[in-house]
Structure 1
Amino acid sequence: MNPFLELGIRHDIVNAITELGFEKPSPIQEKAIPVLLTGNDDFVGLAQTGTGKTAAFGLPLLEQLDFTVKQPQALVLCPTRELCLQIARDLEKFAKFIDNVHVVAVYGGANISDQLRQIRRGVQIVVATPGRMLDIIGRNAIDFSKVKYVVLDEADEMLNMGFQEDINNILSETPDYKKTWLFSATMPKEVRRIAQNYMTDPVELTVGTKNTGNANIEHNYYMIKAKDKYAAFKRIVDYYPDIFGIVFCRTKIETQEIAEALIKDGYNADSLHGDLSQQQRDKVMKRYRERNLQLLIATDVAARGIDVNDVTHVINYSLPDETENYTHRSGRTARAGKTGISISLINIKEMSKIRHIEKIIGKEFVRKQVPQGTEVCEKQLFAIVDNVHNVEVHEDQINTFLPQILESLQDLTKEEVIKRFASLEFNRFLNYYKNAPDLNIDGKETKFDREKDGSSRRTSSKGFTRLFINLGSVDEFSRGEMLGFICNNSKISGKSIGKIDLKGVFTFFEVQDEEVEKVFQGFKEVEYNGRSVRIEVSGEGRSSSSSSDRGGRRRSSDRSSDRGGDRNGSRSGSGRKERSGGGFKDFSGKRRESKSRY
């Protein structure tokens, strides 16, 4: 007998989920479904992302509702539009063989008129993000008087995003007799408070230990210098030829910069963050679900609700500000009982944060070494061999050309043919990683090491002059943007700029000695936001300041948008040193052509 039938789910729903590949219930489904099918209790379910929570509440909902009545009977609240759409799609799939089931997804960034039209036609299940739901309630466009069930999915994340007041206002519009089902990956005090305020003696179920991570996830970290982060990141990606991953950054700007640097370096990557329109987000997610993207670079908020199968790696390019968010990030992999790897790129100062996360998830991190260039080449070589071995051969099509191919290769032995085919790809990696430096650090970096690395440097590198500019991070510059700003006004190449040490209200940067005069000339009459831009040689009196606007003031579009710039990504090729940090915006507004990956 089908195990879902044994839980009490009827045949037409079981038939639908069997088509979707459901074979046996996940632990949260096995525990939650029998309780929720009674419809008599409030409920709190604690389980990690990717454990099947949507089916855990979705299947009982379909059992409980009367689909002959076209009024909202269930409301599902979730933090993001991606998750909202995913839940609505899943419920429709679960209800494939049930007549007259109407589900509407209500979320911001889409045409509200279309959503209102669907509501007016009659729906039984509303899946919504809090902000758009409040908007519709404010228009008196929905009647919740018949709502029997309210589901709060990813409750901890909704509270992290500041939706507590919105949730309170929405719940006040629903009947007192309703049942509330709350699902969360973690149980902070704010989530506990919702349970106390809106539930009566809820049944509480926990899959695993509270706040712990998925047992099928391997947690690794790489300790590197900050300046080597991008180079180390690319090397790790290259070490896993079949990687299909999500890369998490802390900010929208960093997300866009890393994505653009990867694209420039020839990787199949794109970004997902809050500044994208819904159409842009949908396009990116479609490419990722279809595996036309190998790497999705995302912020924590934008990645909520990403339900993509077979994600092999989650990479924390930057650790999250809230350590509990690490659980949500890593939960993007190892879904549906599969295994996955969560990677964190850290510097020495972040080691304490790793230890704190270990306590939260109840698992130890394993320190890994950034692969050497030869190791990456070996991995890539055998990936090529596997691809050749497993490639599908279209006999009918290739047989036409086979005689000519054999004739062209007749002077080569079997071994020589194999060498040449393998070298078509392998040579690129050999050239790229030739003389590649060791990017690992021993974890015992001293003050002298940091000064040698440049983080506390007060003198210039050989052949460079260290300059001061009176703009910094408080002026909303990133290092990449500062590089673009300097190059655009000085009319010099980015290769002429050395280390950029971005501070709060000022920045130190290095310029090749022969280009210093161009910098002073370029900034003679430059203003930024109404104040003169001043350039000085660090520790000396010479300076250049401005009195009129000569193109130095950054346009508002440059400040507000982190899309559309150029990225001078990592250098590649024989004998060149890997370079981290992504690159810079092209302040001329022109986009240069992308370089090949190697």
Structure 2
Amino acid sequence: MTTEVSFIDLGLSEDILNALNDLGFSKPSPIQSECIPLLLKGNDVLGMAQTGSGKTAAFSIPFLMNIDANLKAPQLLVLAPTRELAMQVADACSEYSKYMKGIKVLALYGGQRYDVQLRALKQGPQIVVGTPGRLLDHLNRKTLDLSNLKGLVLDEADEMLRMGFIDDVESIMATIPENHQTALFSATMPAPIRRITKRFMHNPKEVQIKGTNQTAPDIDQSYWLVRGMRKNEAIVRFLEAEDFDAAIIFVRTKSATLDVAEVLEKHGYSCAALNGDMTQQLREQTLDRLRNGRLDILIATDVAARGLDVERISLVINYDITLDSESYVHRIGRTGRAGRAGRAILFVDSRERRLLKNIEQTIKKPIPEVGLPSKELLEKRRLAKFTQQVQKQLESSDLEQYQTLLSQIQADSGTDLETLATALLKLAQGERPLILPPDPVFKPSRDTRDFDGRGGERRLRGDNRETPKRRERRDVGDMDMYRIEIGKENGVEVRHIVGAIANEADISSRYIGNIKLYETYSTVELPKGMPKDILKHFEKVRVLNQPMKMSLVSGAASDAKRGRKSNKFDASDKGGAKKRGRPSAPKF
């Protein structure tokens, strides 16, 4: 009989134990139970575990125990493959160290202004979490001093290899003082990763945690492929189409909790954000409002929602898909409590289909796709609510006074009663019109099901679909070609472009098409219909300290596939495509 280990048994400080208690952590996960003691003893650790196994706490907690708060210099460096993961790890480190005085955590990633990062570095953060490209930039600029480093962590090393960052990782590791402790985590262990462990790690202790075979709770699940309209517009439609007592909406970042809450408040929903910046007292007040019915919708991050258990929650919307499938299971487990029916909706961007497949493998069943709630459905539900309000007023005792006013308005306007009633109906509908514009038109995707307003599925279309013959590896359909104003003369390589695009847009490298390098510029194929905000962001992104200035090449990708020469332009042709009427990239 094995004895169950607690966080107290691991010898953690009172400050960290209090932080874990606030987060609802009752006992360590398997990887935490094994890694924390090894790292506290000073061993290098090589961990093989899937995302979502709790490895962030497994490496950050023991390293926090050895941080000198009085030394205002980086003592722990964490390398992450994407800016999203870097922000999540930094947020988690901040949560674990919130009772430790003087501890500062900084995330460094591409897309953020250098002057902002330089000011933060001058404040002396003890923990730095960053993506390889931006960290290497700071090291080359000598704005990041790692001479006092005690610990180094490589998180999701195989993902960094796949995204083309492994050379940058080795360059960073070669500049770090030898007298430090290293922890490397990877779901798989390909040869290049093994090479790093042999070259840079000292007799690492191996910890291998097998993924748990979780099954989905008894919850009605579906996903919506993001297209036709933005998420903010779609979430209002889904909330209006669903019958729920209380709902929780999961997003990835703290700022997103506030953004989504603002959108919903404008549409009249009683909602609140729940994120790591809130004090424990404010968090408890917010949850009490949700429990007693004064609040109906909570917008939360995964970290902030840990330990949340409210029976009223009957709907979970995954506004942002989780980076790991086990977190998805934890998310949707917030609904369907106390024997109640539960409903979960997942928003999936076209570049996130791989993550959807991982979730389906974990829960051991497919998640059906649901269509966007139609205008007919919304009109029907709005009319029903409006009719209820009218019926309630018909039972009022003071209608005679208003009948007098109505007769006066009719006499003054000289119109018939039916036309007057129609005008008053239009006026009374308020900000939620009873008649909506036509729905956006787009091609149906696989396994599309009609939305009936109760999460049901009326009919299945596309069962006889054919597997697309082209681009099976990426499964993203048509591609658009883009031009980048950086080429061979700047020393750029394909891996630099892949890394910049994958990291800045959080796009998996498998969704990036052909890349061609020319002397003064390059071209790259990306999935058709990239969001405009991402493309606008790419105008400012830098590769090898040179701005990309990405622009769409009209019809280039399709022309190239037909054998036409679509690249007959040079670096001096800036703005020419626009003058010739280049179409803008369509929305997803």
Question: TM-score, normalized by length of structure 2?
Answer: 0.49
| TM-score, length-scaled by structure 1 | 0.49
